[in-house]
Copies of this chain bind each other. A is one copy, B any other.
Amino acid sequence: MRDVDVERVRALPLFRGCSNDTFRTLSAGAFLQRFPAGTTLLLGGDQVDFLYVLLDGTVELEGTWNDKETTLALLRPVSTFILAAVVLDADGLMSARTVERSDILMLSGAAIRRVMSEDAAFAVAVAQEMAGCYRGLVRTLKNHKLRGGLERLANYLITQRLRQGGDASFVLPHEKRVLASLLGMTPENLSRSIAALADYGVEVHGPSVTITRPAVLERLAKPDPLIDNHQPVTDELTGKAQRERWPLADDRTRAA
């Protein structure tokens, strides 16, 4: 594992506050692995032995029932995932799969649980991380129960624009069929919804999006601070706006 990767992990909110001893203990039993696209890292119902940290690539968290499948979150670096199962030493409720080639760090779950009892600062960081994840899911659930498909899409686009710097043009970070699953619709309906947004000043060509009349789109979307998480999170070290700081990242705040 390269030093630069160690630094990136150390800088995560989850590890920033813990002692050097704690961090050394955790990284001692860790290993870094590179997975090709489409690899299933974890199947729902499986015992979870590791905390995963996505260092490069994209990971999809998905749920299944009755031969149907839905995307619960799309993760971009640097993000941790399945922390909840690790904390409770429980089976995972979701499957995790790489969307593209990904570098993933795996930390022993047993070590994490042990270290939590010894380093209160780390335990607090875990609690805060879980609280952030929880609030992300509350937002997601409200997004789904209160808004229709077109409104979810409109808000997703507004969020993406802000996350990517606020320019009128930006790029969809995922394949449309994956995005559709995240937004809780079929690919066909996503297509139609995109077409419908043309009336609201949204131009889409392939993966590139231009919002020509933001005010009009916002009047449709009615973004809400209690559902959408719009602030372009600023990295405390570099001062640069960074795309993902949270575990359910990208979409933890919005999406699904």
Contact = CB atoms under 8 A, between A and B. Distances in A.
A255 to B, nearest CB: 11
Interface residues of A, number: 52
A196 to B, nearest CB: 18
Q: Is the interface of A mostly helix, strand, loop or mixed?
A: helix
A131 interface: yes
A141 B137 contact: yes
B88 A146 contact: no
Interface in A33-90: 44-45, 63-66, 68, 70, 72, 83-85, 87-88, 90
A123 B127 contact: yes
A256 interface: yes
Kindly report how many copies of this chain are found in the complex they form together.
2
A140 interface: yes
Contacts of A184: 145
A227 interface: yes
Contacts of A83: 131
Interface string A215-239: 0000000101111000000000000
A134 interface: yes
A128 to B, nearest CB: 6
A147 interface: yes
15 contacts: A63-B142, A63-B145, A64-B146, A65-B142, A65-B146, A65-B226, A66-B146, A70-B142, A70-B146, A72-B145, A84-B130, A85-B135, A88-B135, A137-B141, A140-B141
Given A68-B146, A130-B134, A145-B256, 6 more contacts: A64-B226, A65-B146, A87-B131, A117-B120, A117-B121, A119-B120
